[in-house]
Amino acid sequence: MILAAWVLAAVAIALAWPVPVLLSRASWPARRPRAAMVVWQGVGLLGGLSMIGAILAWGLAPFGPSPLAAVRRVVGLTRDGAFLPPEGAAHLIALGCGALLLAHLVFTLALTGLRMRARRARHLAALRLVAHEAPDERNRLVVESALPLAYCLPSTGGSITVVTDGILTALSPAELAAVLDHERAHLDQRHDVLIWAFSAWRTALPWLPTARLALEAVAELIEYLADDFAVRRHEPADIARALLVVASSNTGAPHPGLGHSEGTTTKAALRQAAAPASPLAGRTVRRAARLLTRVTG
């Protein structure tokens, strides 16, 4: 199992640094967000499992030829109270560290989920004091604000879409429908779960720079996925104009619902220009992207 420990350690190191760095610098994820999301999920899951597996495999190595036999021997020694030589004690300490790391990751995942749920509940309670329900939509709240803003608030008791008076007056009905479908995609595709998992990874391993890279990449990819959802249902020109209106007044503040930066930015518009749904859509969105670049500087 020493060989397995070294192999797992090599995989863990690769997935902890070079692979995420190269992936975050690549251009293809913007064109293939669904595939990129699967890759990032694989990096996070396999990275964590290989890190824990390397520690456990090294810890179990002197106790048996196979993991099951090694575990049985460790349990037997522990039950009998037998003393171990120093090298055996070091391997037992490694086993304890691996178990603690696993418990830390699971605990952080649960704690992050509880904190996000509590934060959304507080946010919804505050909204109920200042917002009113849209007359034509039961799960939509309208906030009196001139800022053109729309976002979703996931909830197990019924998800809410929040819009401002500013966006209702700034956008045409077709443009508003495109924006609302963008937000509905976040809810239907459960993007909040992805943000939860990668936020927990960032919190559990704050010393790992790639945990931050992964969270930022996933936050951007879910915006691309929501854009793709809207593009399939609406005219590209409507989406481009909505991008201009929202991005011109949005400076990237934290998303109140999903817990990440709002992704309706210049980069999202440029991505749409790079991978248009049709030639006509490409020309329309390219014009909007160039104008958006000038507007947002």
What integer pLDDT is reported at residue 259 of this predicted model?
A: 62
What integer pLDDT is reported at residue 261 of this predicted model?
A: 43
Exposure string of 130-161, with b = 16+ CB inside 10 Å and e = fewer, is: ebeeeeeeeebbbbeeeebbbbbbbbeeebbb
Across residues 179-191, what is the average pLDDT? 93
Instruction: Report which DSSP code applies to 132.
Output: E
- Residue 254 phi, psi (nearest 5): -55, 140
Report how far residue 143's alpha carbon sits from residue 264's, in angstroms, rounded to the nearest whole number. Answer: 20
Across residues 258-269, what is the average pLDDT? 46
For residue 37, the number of C-alpha atoms closer than 13 Å in the C-beta half-sphere is 20
Q: Mean pLDDT of all residues in the chain?
A: 81
What integer pLDDT is reported at residue 157 of this predicted model?
A: 77
Phi-psi region of 131 (alpha: psi -120 to 50; beta: other; left: phi over 0): beta
What integer pLDDT is reported at residue 161 of this predicted model?
A: 95
Q: What is the pLDDT of residues 97-151, one digit of tens each?
A: 999 999 999 999 999 999 999 999 999 999 999 999 998 888 899 999 999 999 9
* 3-class DSSP assignment, residue 52: helix
| Identity at 68, one-letter amino acid code | L
Residue 291 has pLDDT above 60, yes or no: no
What integer pLDDT is reported at residue 78 of this predicted model?
A: 61
* Confidence grade of residue 199 (pLDDT, cut at 50, 70, 90): very high
Percent of the chain with pLDDT over 70: 75
Which residues are within 8 A (CB) of 172 and not within 5 positions of it... i.e. 6 or more apart?
238, 241
What integer pLDDT is reported at residue 243 of this predicted model?
A: 76
Report how far residue 243's alpha carbon sits from residue 237's, in angstroms, rounded to the nearest whole number. Answer: 10
